[in-house]
Amino acid sequence: MARVLLFGPLRDVAGWRERETTAETISALRTLLSREDAALGAALSAPGVQVALNQALVRGDAALDARSEVAFLPPMSGG
Amino acid sequence: MIRLSDQPFEPGALLTEFSKDRRETGAIASFTGIARAEAGKTEVLELEAYPGFTESEIGRIADQARIRFGLDDLLIRHRIGRIEPGEAIVFVATAASHRRSAFEACDFLMDYLKSRAPFWKKEHGPDGARWIEPRSEDYADAARWD
C-alpha cells in the first residue's frame, strides 16, 4: 500500500489530501485515479505538474511498494 | 541555515544575528518579502510546503548558491501557514567577501524561491480563495540563471 499525497490546487480538485493505494506503478496509479475522478486525472496530467517518489522528483514511470510515498506537485510558488 | 516557520519573524533581528562576529565577510545582502494587502483583495495568504521535501530542495539550491557565488554563509527563513498582509513571508541573507557575490546570490535564491521551490500559495479575500501561480516574469527571472 503506497501513500499518495496531493498539494496545492490538486487537493481542492480531488477533495482529499492523502490516501493509500494498491497501485504497483505510478502510471497504474494515474489510471486508477483518473478512472475514479476524471477531473483529478486531467489535473494530474496538466502541464507543470511534477511527481516526487519518496521525496525525490521522478520523470516517467516507477514501481511502487508498501513504503512508497508518491506526491503530485502542481506549479510551485513561494516568496 | 534554512528554516520554515509557521510563526511571524522579525527580519531586522535575523539580519543582526546573521551579521554578528564576521571578521572576514566583506559584504552582506538581504531581501525581505512582505505579504501585500492588494488594496483589500488579500485578507490572508496561506502557504503550504511539503515537509522534508521543501527543506531538502531549498538546501540543494542553497548549496549551488554557495559554490556558484563563493558565499561564506547564507540564511533562508520562509513562512508557512497563514500570513497576514504586512508580515514578512520570506527573508534571505547572503554573506560573501565582496558585494557583487552577495547581491547576486540573494537575487538568485529569491528567483528560485518565487517559482521553483516547493511551496503553494493561496490568497483568501472577500471574493473567496484562489491559488496563486508564478507570473511569467517570475519564470523569466529564474531562467536568467540557467
Side chain identity at A21, as an amino acid letter?
T
Chain A residues closer than 8 Å to B90 by CB: 78-79
Domains and CATH numbers, chain A: 2-73 (3.10.20.30)
Counting the structural domains of chain B, the total is 1
Where residue B68 sits, what CATH number does that domain have? Answer: 3.90.1170.40
Tens of pLDDT, residue by residue over B101-138, are 999 999 999 999 998 999 999 999 999 999 998 899 99
Chain B residues closer than 8 Å to A12 by CB: 131
Q: Is the Cβ pair B78, A52 closer than 8 Å?
A: no
Neighbour-count burial for B16-54, b at 16+ CB within 10 Å, e otherwise: eebeeeeeebebbbbbbbebeeeeeebebbbbbbbeebb
Please give the residue range of the domain that contains residue B14: 2-143
What residues form DSSP beta bridges with B5? Answer: B79
DSSP, residue by residue, B110-142: HHHHHHTSSEEEEEEETTEEEEE---HHHHHHH
Q: Which of B90, B110, B118 sits opposite A76 (nearest CB)?
A: B118
Tens of pLDDT, residue by residue over B9-60, are 999 999 999 999 999 899 999 999 999 988 888 899 999 999 999 999 999 9
Cβ atoms of A39 and A56 closer than 8 Å: no
